[in-house]
């Protein structure tokens, strides 16, 4: 990883490697590495003045949106433990723990 060339050109190499080897950030909710798609979620909804974002799986963000109102999300803020204390979320995280990082159930697509 940290190999450097003493001559010119190391910078290019570094960039290429960084792009390729950058590990996906861990999901804020379930703690697994994010897959190819990283959703930048606002723990405090944007409409409530939230500015911070955290990396999440789409499916995990969906779980939050399904189980909490904006007011509840605002109250929990950056404290993911509050969200994990919700039995439905806890159950989801335990369930999704063994899934592929790119796994995305069609929960958002049902009912058309
Ligand atoms: Zn996740």
Model pLDDT, residue 108: 46
Q: What is the mean pLDDT of residues 15-39?
A: 82
Model pLDDT, residue 112: 45
Q: For residue 83, how many other CB atoms are within 10 A of its CB?
A: 22
pLDDT at 109 over 50: no
**Half-sphere exposure in the Cβ direction for 108 (13 Å, CA):** 11
Expressed in angstroms and rounded, the spacing between residue 23 Cα and the centre of ligand 1 is: 15
Predicted model pTM: 0.73
pLDDT in tens, 60-79: 999 999 999 999 999 999 99
Domain boundaries, the chain: 25-102
Separation of alpha carbons 72 and 67, rounded Å: 9
Q: Would you place residue 85 in the very low, low, confident or very high pLDDT band (cuts 50, 70, 90)?
A: very high
Expressed in angstroms and rounded, the spacing between residue 24 Cα and the centre of ligand 1 is: 12
Expressed in angstroms and rounded, the spacing between residue 99 Cα and the centre of ligand 1 is: 10
């Amino acid at each position: 990883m940290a190999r450097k060339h003493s001559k010119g050109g190391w910078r290019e190499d570094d960039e290429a490697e960084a792009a390729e080897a950058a590990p996906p950030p861990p999901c804020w909710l379930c703690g697994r590495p994010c897959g190819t798609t990283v959703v930048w979620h606002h723990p405090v909804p944007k409409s409530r003045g939230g500015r911070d974002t955290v990396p999440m799986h789409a499916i995990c963000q969906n779980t939050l949106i399904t189980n909490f109102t904006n007011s509840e999300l605002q109250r929990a803020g950056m404290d993911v433990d509050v969200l994990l204390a919700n039995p439905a979320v806890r159950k989801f995280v335990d369930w999704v723990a063994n899934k592929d990082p790119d796994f995305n159930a069609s929960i958002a697509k049902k009912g058309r």
